[in-house]
Structure 1
Amino acid sequence: MISIYKTVSETGNSLQQLDSIEPGCWINMVSPSEQEVLLISKKTGVPIEFLNAALDEEESSRIDSEDNNLLFIVDIPFTEMEENSLTYDTYPLGIIHTQKEIITVCLKNSKLLNDFIEGNIRSFFTFKRSRFILQILYRVSSYFLLSLRQIEKKSLMIQKKLHSSVSNKVLMQLLSLQNSLVYFSTSLKANEITLEKMLKLEIMQKYEEDKDILEDVIIEIKQAIEMTGIYANILNATMEASANVISNNLNLVMKLLASVTIVMSIPNIYSGLFGMNVTGLPWSDAANGHGFAIVLSMTLITVIATIIILNKRDMF
């Protein structure tokens, strides 16, 4: 899908959708087809490789240039629903700076870019290409921080559930959050390297204010990296604690079963001994009517004594 926009107001608060490409416009491409890629490449002179770069899920963050066209690829966060639970992942976003236009390419429709389309960003001008790129990058860092805060809240909720029960569903949710943090950490570190390279580009040296904004973005990215490390350590500790709880619960169950087995084996021993078809056993004389009661009493006394001993040893 291709959408073309252009700022038509000097205040930067009015964005108009166009039917054709004009100088100073913004071309937003979401999961474009091969025909759409060829069309934009032909009309803007941007290499097809630049347009296709962000369509590869495994594409890493980087900067490339060719024929006055600058390609910036950064990883951006995405949230998806999976088994009635939010999962977090990252996808590459391609930003192409041409002599007349700005082109963004992404596999999925991003809320990050929709903020610009819906007018949630003030002082936004499509014809101020370098400033527009910086504003996108700032939103990228903001969305990473927002996603990390959501992960923190979700992990706290899961930790509360662990106090009551340790289920496979809860553990899988923890594992999903751990995987999300791994993706975030890898993407943020790659973005940081790309942003630091941007500081050396000529287009970022024209205006001191642009350079300051880029430095602020790098600071935000560094903060996100630090938060990712902290949350990852917390989740690792939680997973280890959960494993210890599961192991301890298993030990308690095994200890209880062992104690119950010992107690239940005592009546079997007595019944086996006095149930033998031999003569000469105590109280085997049929004239003595109290033989069964005596054997039963001995069994109960032995069972009670065993339970008391095992209880003192914390086996129950």
Structure 2
Amino acid sequence: MLNIYRSNCTRLYELDLQTLEKGAWFKLINPTPEELELVAAATGSPLDFLKAALDEEERSRIELDENHMLVITNIPVMRGHDNYDALPLGIVLTPEYIITVCLEANEVLAEFSSENARAFSTFKKTRFLFQTLYKSATLYLKHLKQINRRTDEIERDLRRSMQNEEIFQLLQLQKGLTYFAASLRSNGIVLEKLLRLRSTSQVQHLIKIYEEDEDLLEDVIIENKQAIEMVEMYSRILNGMMDTFTSIISNNLNRVMKFLASMTIILAIPTMVSSFMGMNVDVPFGQSHGFLYTSLVALAVTILSAFGLWRKGMF
């Protein structure tokens, strides 16, 4: 899907290829090959720059051409309950346009809508780039807080039920944190490279950084570092929690096995006594009250055995 927008600091309006204006934003979501070729022809961007973010395994990086710069960053996505992932977002800067390419509609680009048109300007390409990176970093923090709250809920459920389902939910959250950790580290490398490139003559015709932009880039770096620290902390908490509850479940299993072993011993005693007394040979008490005496003997031995097992902590 291809949409072309431009904002004038008050409103966001849509364009097409026939009414194209300088400072326009090309928004590509899961584009077709025909749409990629149209954008490449209209902007002069290399086709491989536009296709780079369409690989789900693409890592964050920066590529420079004579008149184009490609910035690939990984943004967080939530695909379902307790299911978090990271998705590459490509941002191509040209002397006249800015292009974003992504495989899916996402919350980061959804922030740049007509309702928030006063907060951004498509013709201020550098600031628009930094605002996109800032939205991504804050979205990571938002999802990390959700993961932390969800972890607390699962912990409360585990204290009551100790079911496998809660363990699998923790594993799913741990998987999402692993994706976030890898994406945030690679995003940090991209941000540091942008910080170094801001004053080089190689990209000055593509990136014009003013004082406000400099502050915004520093805010993005701070938010990204905070997200990395939170991912590491929550990962350690989740790992410790999974290890703890796995040990608790194993300990509970041992207790059950001890109880079953004790019950087996106790039930074996009356069975053994009654087996001896039921043999087809002469046995004591065979003529009078034999069943009563046998039952009393079995009961006494069973009680003594149960008391001994209880003293040894088998119950």
> Structure 2 CA distance, aligned partners of 1:156 and 1:229?
17
What's the counterpart of residue 274 of structure 1? 277
Q: How does 1:172-183 map to 2 (within 5 A)?
A: 172-183=168-179
Whether contact under 8 Å (2:7, 2:117) holds in the other structure is no
Structure 1 stretches (4+) deviating beyond 6 angstroms? none
| Residues 1:4 and 2:7 are matched in the alignment | no
Gaps in structure 2 of 5+ consecutive residues? none
Name the counterpart of 2:311: 312
Equivalent residue for 1:254? Answer: 257
Alignment match of 2:11 (pick from 14, 31, 39): 14
Matched, 1:101 2:64: no
Paired with 1:65 and 1:17, the residues of 2 have a C-alpha distance of 28
- Which residue does 1:123 correspond to in 2? 119
1:246 Cα deviation after fit: 1.1
SS of match in other structure, 1:283? coil
Q: Distance in 1 between matches of 2:155 and 2:113?
A: 38
Q: Secondary structure at the match of 1:103?
A: strand
Query: Match of 2:272, as an amino acid?
Result: I
TM-score by length of 2: 0.94
1:265 match: 268
Q: Residues 149-174 of structure 1: CA distance to partner in whole angstroms, max 9, x if unpaired? A: 01101111001101001212111110
Task: Tell me if structure 1 keeps the 8 A contact 2:126–2:208.
Answer: no
State how far apart, in whole Å, the 2-side matches of 1:35 and 1:65 are: 24
**Contact persistence 2:11–2:114 (CA under 8 A):** no
> How far apart are the structure 1 equivalents of 2:82 and 2:166?
13
* RMSD of aligned alpha carbons: 1.3
Are residue 153 (structure 1) and residue 149 (structure 2) matched?
yes
Q: 1:90 to 1:121 in 2, by over 3 A?
A: farther
In the alignment, residue 18 of structure 1 is paired with which amino acid? L
* Structure 1 residue 19: Cα displacement: 2.0
Shift of 1:283: 1.4
Within-5 A mapping of 1:147-226: 147-201=143-197, 202=200, 203=204, 206-226=209-229
What is the DSSP-based 3-state SS (H/G/I as helix, E as strand, rest coil) of the residue aligned with 2:76?
Answer: strand
- State the Cα deviation string for residues 176-203 of structure 1 (Å, max 9, x = none): 0000000000000000000000012244
CA-CA distance at 1:18 after TM superposition: 1.1
- Which residue number in structure 1 is paired with residue 22 of structure 2? 23
Post-superposition offset of 1:205: 6.5
Distance 2:208 2:221 in 1: 16
Give the whole-Å Cα distance in 2 for the aligned partners of 1:188 and 1:152: 17
What does residue 35 of structure 1 align with?
34
Contact 2:126 2:209 in 1 (8 A): no
> What is the CA-CA distance between 1:52 and the residue it aligns to?
0.4
What percentage of aligned pairs have identical amino acids?
44
> Aligned AA for 1:275?
G
Give, in whole Å, the separation in 2 of the partners of 1:260 and 1:24.
80
Amino acid corresponding to residue 149 of structure 1 in structure 2 = K
Deviation, structure 1 residue 270 = 0.6
Q: What residue identity is the alignment partner of 1:145?
A: L
CA deviation after TM superposition for structure 1 residue 208, in Å: 2.7
Residues matched between the structures, number: 306
Which of 129, 132, 145 is residue 133 of structure 1 equivalent to?
A: 129
| Residues 307 and 118 of structure 1, relative CA distance in 2, 3 Å threshold | farther
The runs of 5 or more residues in structure 1 that have no matched partner are none
CA contact (8 A) 1:13 1:119 kept: no
Question: Does the residue aligned with 2:281 lie in a helix, a strand or coil?
Answer: coil
Please state whether the residue corresponding to 1:234 is helix, strand or coil: helix
Whether the 8 Å CA contact 1:92–1:106 is kept in 2: the answer is yes
* Aligned amino acid, residue 283 of structure 1: F
